[in-house]
Amino acid sequence: MTLPWTHVDDHFIDGRWQTSTGDVRHDVIDPATEEVWGSVPEATPDDIDAAVRAADAAFRSGPWAGTAAADRAEILLRAADALEERATELSLTNTRENGSPVAETQGAAANAASIFRYFAGLAQWLQTEDVRPFPRGVGETVVRRDPVGVCVLIAPWNFPINLVAIKLAPALLAGCTVVIKPASPTPLSIRFVVEALATAGAPAGVVNLLTGSAAVGDALVRHPRTAKVAFTGSTPVGRAIAAACGELLRPVTLELGGKSSALVLPDVDLEAMSEVLIRSCLRNTGQTCYISTRILAPAEKYDDVVDMVTATVAAARQGDPLDPESVFGPVATKAQFDIVLAHIEVARAEGARVTTGGRAADVARGYFIEPTVFADVTPDMQIAREEVFGPVVTILRYETLDEAIEIANATDFGLGGLVFSRDADDALAVADRMDTGSVGINFFASNHSAPFGGRHDSGLGVEYGIEGLSAYVTYKSIHRRLTP
């Protein structure tokens, strides 16, 4: 299939594709082949200012400012349909950008569409009249939910569509306008989303897209007309964005790194666990923020857990990400390839035992690392403390449940988690004791209607649900006396 966008010269500003005012470009590299197959421009200060000003004008005086929530919802619904029509091209573009297997990316358009439809269904919440009486009956207050303004949405490279959609859909429904800045390795697939919204009737200036380096993101965060920032990515970058937003008194939502634990109880059903293991602990070649890359196994079942995890991971196919049978692809970039291999070497040096994998794959080209399982891992090892973001899972031993929970909570992060048990009540009790934003019992998945966010170094605020929508509104209280 011929993809519609490879080497492009433009950004989407004020309702149309406009040629960049600069000549600096960034290559798009296929991590499976190391081939340069695309390129995009680096947004200049003039491009950045034009995009933010277009968004600001659309918010303050354009047609978007007077569009009812129900009408904004209709645009989201039409965009969802248009996006699904582009599913195959989007999937192939995404896979060539970051190496995610098509088994993963083939659902990206449908999932983004479902996010658009979910938030479209919340229009009534925005439109419902909210009147609250004074406690002593002297009057009442009308509470308004106003859109916050121009929102800068900065996305990572691991899920470049859906990690934009969970910001974009609530922002647009709330009545905000946006400037999207995708990660440098994945700048092309998001164009399908922008095109779908334009086709659906989003007015000029409502959705803008700029490509480029981290410097573009920093300039957008600090632009005087930016009203809110939403970012998904690494904790160090998130800290820098939070510092800038704090200085500017600008609201920010941050979904950052993780080092989540899968706590295995002694009554675990290992066969059932094996069926969800890779999606729960190594999804997207281990490049997923919430996955539980630390498996905590009881001493009496430790060897059984190690054997099951090793066999399951070793049996999963790694290869060409364009092959629908591939479970593991390459890591997304050469830099990440080097980072993951460095973690593996440190783990070996610290005494962790490789039960499968543990090295770069024996291939002629591409950033492939063999899916790796480490046993005999202790909580003090680097591999048990730091986010690897690659196809590596560790297995730690515990003696008592209290010790297991202590290990699970002894981390700077707090994003995901799992409990594996046959007893639903026991599993829920353990989940309640885990200090993290989300916990799955015998599986993990995001629910569009439930808040998703991290604690501690895993972020600020939440996405999804009414709670995620409320992050894009600012409240106004209008007090009035009751008429006799």
Give the whole-angstrom CA distance, residue 388 versus residue 331: 11
Give the whole-angstrom CA distance, residue 155 versus residue 338: 22
β partners of residue 19 = 10
The set of catalytic residues is: 255, 289
* Chain centre to alpha carbon of residue 64: 27
Q: How far is residue 350 from each of residues 280, 294, 377, 379, 391, measured CA to CA in Å?
A: 26, 16, 9, 11, 19
